[in-house]
Amino acid sequence: MSQYSILITGGAGFIGSHVVRLFVNKYPHYRIYNLDKLTYAGNLENLKDIEQKSNYIFLHGDITDTAYIEKIFSEYQFQSIIHLAAESHVDRSIHNPMDFVFTNVVGTVNLLNAAKKIWNGHPPTGMRNLFYHISTDEVYGSLHSDDEYFTENTPYDPRSPYSASKASSDHFVRAYHNTYNLPIVISNCSNNYGPNQFPEKLIPLMINNIKNNKPLPVYGKGENVRDWLYVEDHAAAIDVVFHKGKIGETYNIGGHNEWKNIDLVHLLCKLMNRKLNRPEGTSEKLITFVPDRPGHDLRYAIDATKIKTELGWSPSLQFHEGIEKTINWYLENEDWLNHVTSGEYKNYYQKQYLNR
């Protein structure tokens, strides 16, 4: 019997690289294909520890390229898909929404069409076909401070070009299930943090700026609230949903861990002062309040009861453990940070992979 083949899109990105590593190491009898365009946030250096594994194959390509997607589906006959590839930075979506429309909407529909074409024409393989679409809690809109958590039944109310593009892709995935009987599952997760995150996002940005004595930009008064989830816990949840999730269902994945942005920044300052042997209060002086961004959602908070009750998943780390591990990783991996911000790693991997 041939190996069960899984396509993971966006597998060189922050969350994707943790998912690829988990599946490659945990399931040696699976064949894991990692498809990534290698934009600014896609970094094969995240996967150096598994790049020689016999069950791992990297594919360099763009999910918006219809001909390329059809070609690789025909050639490799993927039996399931874990779809993480996405433009995900809200600020970038405000300045250039069309990039988000093409990648998050058109790219998703390309994958849906390719999966439908292949799976509808082939008999069962012993392992189920599954299109697993990874989404975000931002599709649900914004909560007031005293509102109940987002559930899987919360109506969609996207409020930024990014969240609107993800909401649209969610709707297409469900439409292909209802119209074509495509086997799908969706999960919506809260904010992730941890190793390998590109330093435009809040936590790695603050760690890097504190280390280098640069200003710590905080939108508005820093009152916005986010629910934080350690990335390896998210990868573990994806593993559970992929193997045990019910076809056609949605699962919310959250950390049960709400923080105001300003409180989180103060915590990072405190921890970094200790780790860098700086006097108490030193890093806090770097905090700089900047004008709020347009349409800045006040609060996200996930009710993850369904995935816990039905599939048995819950976060393994308390936030104080996860944030300590995260800070330590960034302080111990300065070369990685320099490479991804300078683009040096792309020259290396251009020779290793892209010219094959």
Gap between the Cα atoms of 199 and 197, Å rounded? 6
Q: Which letter, b or e, does each residue of 335-355 get, where b requires 16 or more Cβ atoms within 10 Å of its Cβ?
A: ebbebbeeeebbeebeeeeee
Sort strands 4-9 and 191-193 into parallel, antiparallel or unpaired: unpaired
Sort strands 287-290 and 216-219 into parallel, antiparallel or unpaired: parallel
Decide: 245 and 313 in contact? Cβ < 8 Å: no
The answer to whether residue 2 scores a pLDDT higher than 80 is no
CA nearest 194: which of 241, 255, 262?
A: 255
Gap between the Cα atoms of 33 and 54, Å rounded? 11
Gap between the Cα atoms of 281 and 76, Å rounded? 56
Report helix, strand and coil shares of the chain as percent, to nearest 5.
Answer: 45, 15, 35
Tell me the percentage of the chain whose pLDDT exceeds 70.
94
The overall longest dimension of the chain from CA atoms, in Å, is: 66
In eight-state DSSP terms, residue 302 is B
Phi and psi torsions of 301, nearest 5°:
-155, 125
Segment 233-262, tens digit of pLDDT: 999 999 999 999 999 999 999 998 999 999
CA nearest 17: which of 102, 82, 77?
A: 82
Segment 88-109, tens digit of pLDDT: 777 788 888 898 999 999 999 9
Gap between the Cα atoms of 227 and 28, Å rounded? 33
What CATH number does the domain located at 4-197+229-258+298-317+343-354 have?
Answer: 3.40.50.720
Decide: 231 and 195 in contact? Cβ < 8 Å: yes
In eight-state DSSP terms, residue 351 is I
Question: Which residue numbers are catalytic?
Answer: 137-138, 162
pLDDT confidence of residue 356: 41
Look up the pTM and report it. Answer: 0.93
- Which secondary-structure segment (H or E) carries 95? helix 90-95
First to last CA, the chain: 29
Tell me the percentage of the chain whose pLDDT exceeds 90.
77
The answer to whether residue 302 scores a pLDDT higher than 60 is yes
- pLDDT, mean over the chain: 91
- Which secondary-structure segment (H or E) carries 283? none
Gap between the Cα atoms of 67 and 77, Å rounded? 15
